[in-house]
Amino acid sequence: MRRHRNVKIVATLGPASNDYDMIRSLFEAGADVFRLNMSHGDHDDIRARHNIIRDIERDTGRPICILADLQGPKLRCGVFKGDEATIEEGAPFRFDLDAAPGDGTRVQLPHKEIFAALEPGKTLLVNDGKLRLRVDACGPDFADCTVVTGGTISNRKGVNVPDVVLPLAALSEKDRTDLEFVCDLGVDWLALSFVQRAADVEEARDLARGRAAILSKIEKPAAVDAFDDILAVSDGIMVARGDLGVECPVQSVPPIQKRLTRKCRAAAKPVIVATQMLESMIDSPMPTRAEVSDVATAIYEGTDAIMLSAESAAGSFPLQAVQTMNNVAEAVESDKTYREIIEASRASHLSTTADGIVAAAREIAETTDVQAICVFSHSGSTALKVARERPRVPIIALTPITGTARRMVLSWGVHMVETQSVERFKFAVVSAVRAAKAAGFAEASDQVVVTAGIPFNVAGSTNILRVAPCDERLIFGSEVD
């Protein structure tokens, strides 16, 4: 199944997309990656969705990527008498450790770590930033605040601390249990919520033990400040604009998104732009014009993937949401301006033999009559380098490793093919041209660029390139070995 676009679509599964027929329809409409949100549903629900995806993968013969999104340490206030209270602008309000139901003057905040890190002048945000309070005085078990933006506060609403690096464990006990569960299931990516520092990522990597790639969600100012260090130890990034837009000034989110996307591309690591991309389609079969522009902007920036959350998980129109994303992506990528922007943002990264090979492959493909770049990749690293180049022709990545085939589906423009191991370059070329023809990228009269590494089946050994005819008789009649 060939996509006629390069950017990938991530669709979150949930009550609205919970059976074989719907999930397969989402895949056929354009979903490349399915997200399992560990904040919703028990392990039986997650296992059932995972099994359905793998059944669809078997039935369609195409690798499908599965992303498990860990909940992360959720900070919430306690409960109120009557379930809610109103706090007025300018009024005092206290957070403390007392479990007694709250009122318009105080409520429990059952997180000692917050009190330990707070200082006078810091900000507390409640209910996705709708309520804002300034800390006037604090101690190990309280924070006396002044209400800056008032309103209704109700039971167990989320609390954000935007300008403080909290001394919280990177993974809650629930996250650790969920991580082990989904790694045993066989998911391809783990998304880490509320990452603050590189050490958070390293802890998750130690627990995953190579069973899944690690994707860091950037949704706190501390993560933006430490982004270079976080990117260095991550396999991929999600620009999670929901909490990021709560904790940062909302006007700063677009430039952060653009800056992080370019850094991920330079590092040859996939990046997802997420949250509220087609939010109105939870209840409407049509998006707003602003939402379409938002999706288009992320594609013009060169993001690897765009993500649907509640739109596909709980909305009334999950299939239409995926179709809309697919249509927007195809329209943007057919625009001449898209190629101009993508190529203007390309930088040189010639530090290894593989870098030189993939840069040459892209140059050859764009200056001669070549239909695709075919990459043999054991670990996926060479395919990532080709994707970083954002070539004008399709990328076909062949690997004998099922996990690599699934994981690489997330990357820009990469059409994954699981193939048998080969020991000679000539047979690698044959496998490449057969894959290109089978997927409709080329015909017998065409040519493709093939890259591989000698010796075969060794990660990071890419050192050979050939422009190959798609007529197998010409391949076997040559003297190339």
| Positions marked catalytic | 35, 76, 217, 275
Taking each helix axis from N to C end, the angle separating 20-29 and 318-333, rounded to the nearest 10 degrees, works out to 10
CA atoms within 13 A on the CB side of 463: 9
Rg of the chain in Å (alpha carbons): 24
Between CA 202 and CA 119 the distance in angstroms is 28
Residue 359 CA to residue 336 CA, distance in Å, equals: 22
Residue 260: CB partners within 8 Å, gap ≥ 6?
Answer: 218, 224, 227, 237, 239, 271
3-state secondary structure the chain: CCCCCCCEEEEECCCCCCCHHHHHHHHHHCCCEEEEECCCCCHHHHHHHHHHHHHHHHHHCCCCEEEEECCCCCCECCCEHHHEEEECCCCEEEEECCCCCECCCEEECCCHHHHHHCCCCCEEEECCCCEEEEEEEEECCEEEEEEEECEEEECCCEEECCCCCCCCCCCCHHHHHHHHHHHHHCCCEEEECCCCCHHHHHHHHHHHCCCCEEEEEECCHHHHHCHHHHHHHCCEEEEEHHHHHHHCCHHHHHHHHHHHHHHHHHCCCCEEEECCCCHHHHCCCCCCHHHHHHHHHHHHCCCCEEEECHHHHCCCCHHHHHHHHHHHHHHHHCCHHHHHHHHHCCCCCCCCHHHHHHHHHHHHHHHCCCCCEEEECCCCHHHHHHHHHCCCCCEEEEECCHHHHHHHHHCCCEEEEECCCCCCHHHHHHHHHHHHHHCCCCCCCCEEEEEEECCCCCCCCEEEEEEEECCHHHHHCCCCC
Question: Are 236 and 307 contacting, i.e. CB atoms less than 8 angstroms apart?
Answer: no
Phi, psi (degrees; rounded to nearest 5) at 422: -125, 155
For helices 353-367 and 381-389, what crossing angle results, to 10°?
A: 50
